[in-house]
Structure 1
């Protein structure tokens, strides 16, 4: 049974404490927009998958109650930075499995200002990612810089040492995504920067500067996922984007065996998820038109190029430098501005990617529209770990 995204919505992503709102306010805004986009009433929703990382248990219910008190099941989802795409995956599974005809995937986050910690309520020993940071510490030590920037910064150092990747190539990723965000009114940042600006910004963990790091953000995003029967019954074929294939993978022995930060931050599980999606869909990287990927730090965009098969291992710096991943190139990657510039409210990120791709495949992305886009891919990861890859297609009219 096929599953389709028939409606999407999101709030503007904003710096924490910019607006006087609660997580349920932002969830209501995004959820209401998605339902309106689908022309669907909340009373038609049969189940809700609600994703978040920093709110309390049953926050999903508190958020969904703002849309209606219909008594439907609400599932609370937390999968680190891959939470939003995990909620979407649950919604798809409910529909494909025949359990429901209409499911709402809802993601939201109200965050605090400042860099993320290592998890585990401040106790590193109990952090679910302590094993990952242990790999880093064994090779690079553990410094006083923010831990997530540190582990990805060390992955960048290793990539530079192994493949000759340059600081200018890392900066080219951030410059591209900041430029893309100038056409996205929902982006947290909408300023363009040159690669020289990126390199001159405040260092966070060498070689990463502030403008190469995703910020903490407040925001929400949502998607209405429906069955083929629901689409036909309600005349939604013109709005529907098919979830053609989707896969989630978690860490394997390969993630830790090399002792490399390149592997421990997720390249192996991203590669495995992409291979599963390509096998299930019969498509390859060559068939993709537009990609939203998890550029939490500039280095992760380069690692993901390799994991998705856009280039050979080690060639990602040259790929971004060539212009192949922006308008006029082979693919447009992160037309929304990506996490670096659009923002990164953890529970909403994966669903915001789905929203952007839905608009792109419908031809509704305005000044950031990728011409003729028919196939889109979303990539969302969370340390600890989970990688979700989703392939969306616009059905032939």
Structure 2
């Protein structure tokens, strides 16, 4: 037999045929296309062989004029197994229910491990996971993918630089890398405060040390602002100078904005197809062919299934086609100029310290060149310009 598994699934019979017309019966079966195998003689008027269950009726018809009798010796294959199992349906149902329960338990979230962050960050991550449905007892194949979880947490928690999300069995591991916050520690070593950039002083608060400049003074980088030497001449004392010196600083920014831009935008329409993938076979079980898009973006999400500690060769695959269309955005000269000013301001904010404020702005130059608007901006910014400079013995 070339395909034993097919024979077992379709069901077969081992039979004994007794009679004087054995050869005539075998020839008749061959003529009718009845497949017979493993034929063995038991005597002059008796033989055994195998036939398919579906051919039993045809063999009985062929025997009517042969004078032979048929006896079933053995029954094999899935149909007989199912029939026997039906008699013990309680055991079968119990076994199926047990397998289903173990399967569900093997694909649940049983533990969430968050490492690499402090207690406050860990709590924030767990709260964010709970909002998107990732919590103990949830089924793994209905929660977002690790990539989606990572993106959501990164977008909603500012104190995190990076987070790695990985499934290991029924445990979700989150490795957090926090942003390094500068330590606000008071220096106890002797130091001056000097200017870090060119500015005009607008505010001074000296906590310790001797101020050597005043408000409205113009300073240059490296210029002494607060001295660490205090006291009268001959009775000086060296201290760590501390204080806050705010100054007006200046920035320039140049931005070019095209007056006509072509880009893609999603229309909101989508088409989904769901597959069960078994090894190399792909079986669609839900799909929508009504929506056909000429331009689209394809997204594929995969989820694996587990049974106890084994990863099953069955994968659920969801394919989403999102329609997109070409959009042409055209600015007037004034609209392009306004957009350029907004872009320049946002770029400057990203460069400035968190406590800096933009005091004023002015357009230095604007021009229209080759369908683009070029704008050069000048900004006045109020920021802390003082940085410590250690006092070296002997100064």
Bin the TM-score by the shorter chain: under 0.3
Return the TM-score normalized by structure 2. Answer: 0.20
Higher RCO by CA contacts (8 Å cutoff, separation 6 or greater):
1
Bigger proportion of residues as strand: 2
Higher helix share: 1
